[in-house]
Amino acid sequence: METMKPGCASVVRRSTGVPSFATTIIVTLAMLVVTSCAAPAGNDQHKSPPIGHVWTIILENKSYEATFTGLNQNDYLWKTLPSYGLLLRQYYGTGHFSLDNYISLVAGQAPTPDNQNDCPQYKDVQPGSPGADGQVNASSGCVYPASLPTLFNQLDGNKVSWKVYVQDMGNTPSREDPYHCGIPGPPAGAGVPDPGSATAQDQYVPKHNPVPWFHSLIDNPADCAKVVPLGGLPATAGHPAENSLAQDLAREATTPQFSWISPNNCSDAHDATCKGDNLSGDPNNHQGGLYAADLFLKQVVPEIMKSPAFQHDGMIQIIFDEAFPPYKMYGNSIADFTGDTTASLNTPTDTAQSIIACCNELPGPNTTQPGFQAFGQDTTPGGGITGAVFISRFIRPGSITDQPYNHYSWLRSMEDLFQAKTGGTDGEGHLGYAGAEGLRPFGVDVYNNPDGRALQPAPSGIAIYPATASSDDPEKPIVTGPAVPVR
């Protein structure tokens, strides 16, 4: 299966539903879908609209096939929310497993041996020396040196307010420090064990928080003060109270310009059976997966959509870190996974499982392939197609794009949106592989309502097909409804 689109450059230069008032969601004329990955020189189609507030909600471990085909109990995400915005049918992760994707998103770093294994030991990167293309040499460890900036540092430099909201962080203070960016302990020397799974009382895991992995953030108390539990923090000795997401949304003046939201290991769809409760209201309900994620989204997305900041100039992004099985031929795989998850026990047929990349993703200096040996059989770069949903007044409800994007595209787009124009790998404000020559940021296929006119929700032309592969499958999914017509 072809894993990269022609023309993609690879060289680096240097409640329970949407509130009724949102039915007139402010969002334009759909533009033609662009299918190449490289941005034509001198083209103005990637100019960002006047979006002033962004909320990025990151979910876990689901392929496009799992999320957007009706396979699971998640009608809110795969039916309701796309009718208010855009379905990105070819949004890709950059590796496996979780942590390397978070690091790619906020710093443009390619996977490394430890972070693609979710960093079982929380310790500093070694040797930590600068590599080519804005990468850091990292044969071991996961906490990057202070010399490596992140998107959050860029926002600080441009005086753009930001906050990271992390569900359950601090429930067990001996497990993670809610006043120190949620780190599990000091990363110096041998470091400390990194809790990779939830407990019944605390479903927070550091690997789903983008901040603890950078000394440029964790060494700065002012930055750690912006990393808070989703429900806020009460005042304690030496620490002022921190607002919850809901409190910050009450007024535009208290709403950060950029908000990152990490649900806990149940609400992000990571755990199929949750260690603690989901948000159903039933204290004995431990059902996880996309069912639990839908419960979270039904609570949080309407809160954001009714906020003054969103209604003024906001954008909500719902993305996934990576794609896990089930896979279909279209975009993710040419065969279903059939072997054991232990690499040494896999059957030879598992090498047909192709978890693919887009945009000529580079492996970086530290791994042969991003996500190598994910599921014991990954043979290609990338994290597969997850799909994504964006909602904004500058996006036409019910629209679709098949333009390929990945986490580096996301980072480049956020850097452009918030005016990071200097430094970075390319000297134009793009960190790491977000500075790849020709990498396409979100364009007119995404920002397809440039005048921000109020438009009614519209059904999305979602692809419907079985989420398992067979030999007679078409190369493209069957679309039961057309995309919003171009006028």
Q: What is the CATH number of the domain that holds 189?
A: 3.40.720.10
**In this predicted structure, what is the pLDDT of residue 350?**
38
Residues contacting 311, CB < 8 A, separation 6+: 26, 305, 393
Query: Degrees (nearest 5) of the Cα angle 465, 476, 40?
Result: 135
Range of the domain at 424: 20-435
Give pLDDT, residue 356.
Answer: 66
- Whether residue 477 lies inside any domain: the answer is no
Residue 471 lies in a domain: no
For 41-82, write each residue's pLDDT tens digit: 344 556 789 999 999 999 999 988 889 888 888 999 999 999
pLDDT digits (tens, 9 = 90+) for 271-309: 999 999 999 987 889 999 999 999 999 999 999 999 999
- Give domain status of residue 427, yes or no: yes
Q: Which residues of the chain have pLDDT under 50?
A: 1-43, 329, 334-354, 375, 377-379, 480-487
46, part of any domain:
yes
Q: What is the pLDDT of residue 474?
A: 55
pLDDT in the model for residue 323: 87
Mean pLDDT estimate for the chain? 83
Query: Is the separation of the CB atoms in 266 and 198 below 8 Å?
Result: yes
Whether 487 maps to a domain, the answer reads no
How many domains in the chain? 1
Predicted confidence at residue 7, as pLDDT, reads: 32
Domain contains 93: yes
Q: Can you give the pLDDT at residue 262?
A: 99
Give the pLDDT of residue 355: 57
How much is the pLDDT for 9?
38
In a domain, 219, yes or no: yes
Q: What tokens were used for 461?
A: 């032309």
In a domain, 475, yes or no: no
